[in-house]
Amino acid sequence: MKAYDVAVVGATGLVGRKMTQVLEEHNFPVKTLTPLASKRSVGKEITFKGEKIKVKELTPEGFKGIEIALFSAGATVSKEFAPIAAKAGTVVIDNSSAWRMDPEIPLVVPEVNREDIFKHHGIIANPNCSTIQMVVVLKPLHDRYRIKRVVVSTYQSVTGAGQKGVDQLDEELGKKQGDTHKFPHRIAFNCLPHIDVFREDGYTKEEFKMIFETTKIMGDNSIKVSPTCVRVPVFGGHSESVNLQFEKPYDLKDVLALLKKSPGIIVEDDPANNVYPMPINAYDKDETFVGRLRRDDTVPNGLNMWIVSDNIRKGAATNAVQIAEELIKGRD
């Protein structure tokens, strides 16, 4: 098997470090790994397959010879450096919001729209974490029953806000000293219905991402999505309460059977024995977990469910590595 020269941009961040971990765990065919970051991180070390590798400064010249670059350094960095990397012949898989809404850039969850990977012109966008886990579950259901409407409320962990989100919760719980203010209010013992900035229509940018990204990934603008995104004092793993309305009638046993055989999904649905998805059990796992499936009889063909996934893995690093895996399958 061919091995590839791979770079991780933003290599010292939460997601960048997880990307390196997932590349190793998945045994991705890496010939050389180049960790890139801002000047302040130069000289730090990351460990890959037992080898300590020094972080290099992100510069335009740094992509020479790099075949695949996983970006997780924020939208500003991606806007500047992703086109430079693509021009140098690197395929960029970008985890920021920089390119997701661009109609010319594929937005990919491999279990849902693998074929879009090969429409790229040098840049492939990794979707928002809360969207990824939801569409993994929606895809097989939409193919079978046709989804008309989605109402989703998210319960998103502080890791979704990066290291500063983790630091603020740690400090408020007395686990470390500091005065970090990542969130506009206290997060410990609290819930904030506020992720990203508010738009004029009253929705946040995070909520708008879920609306736009769902229809783009699913390839169906007829799906209506109504989201409310909430930050909760959990260190890792996003949870979602999802209400669906289908065009077609369904049998709940058939829905469960369909989800159990669908890729990337683990069904945990035995409430009588207290079995249902929880973020503490999804930690550091690649799969998306679904449970609490039950009918919603207030609308025709309504269904309620609870979806959980590790937002740093499937919601970011794992999905990016899976895109790279499918990319090289198509090349080989």
Which pLDDT does position 310 carry in this prediction?
98
Determine the straight-line distance between the first and last CA of the chain, rounded to whole angstroms.
8
229 catalytic residue (yes or no): no
| Annotated active-site residue in 120, 129, 142, 229 | 129
DSSP string, 70-132: EE-S-HHHHHHHHHHHHHTTPEEEE-SSSSTT-TTS-B--HHHHGGGGGG-SSEEEPPPHHHH
Report pLDDT digits (tens) over 201-252.
999 999 999 999 999 999 999 999 999 999 999 999 999 999 999 999 999 9
Same domain, 121 and 134: no
H or E stretch covering 144:
helix 129-145
The confidence band for 330, taking pLDDT boundaries of 50, 70 and 90, is confident
Same domain, 171 and 279: yes
The confidence band for 1, taking pLDDT boundaries of 50, 70 and 90, is confident
Same domain, 282 and 138: yes
H or E stretch covering 167:
helix 163-172
Please state the pTM of the whole predicted model: 0.96
% pLDDT > 90, the chain: 98
Same domain, 146 and 274: yes
Same domain, 105 and 164: no
Same domain, 102 and 248: no
Contacts of 166 (CB under 8 A, 6+ apart): 14, 158, 159, 235
- DSSP label at 196? S
Same domain, 160 and 117: no
Average pLDDT, the chain: 97
238 catalytic residue (yes or no): yes
CATH number of the domain enclosing 86? 3.40.50.720
Which pLDDT does position 331 carry in this prediction?
56
* Beta partners for residue 288, in sequence order: 265, 309
Per-residue tokens: 90: 């690197």
Same domain, 117 and 211: no
Mean pLDDT of 47-53: 96
Same domain, 325 and 180: no
The confidence band for 92, taking pLDDT boundaries of 50, 70 and 90, is very high
| Annotated active-site residue in 120, 142, 229, 238 | 238
The CA distance from 9 to 291, in Å, is 35
Rounded to a whole number of angstroms, the CA Rg of the chain reads 20
Same domain, 204 and 280: yes
Domain span at 285? 130-311
CATH number of the domain enclosing 140? 3.30.360.10
Same domain, 257 and 111: no
The number of folded domains in the chain is: 2
Same domain, 297 and 324: no
Mean pLDDT of 12-27: 97
Is 98 buried (19+), middle (13-18) or exposed (0-12) by CB count in 10 A? buried
Whether the predicted pLDDT of 332 surpasses 90: no
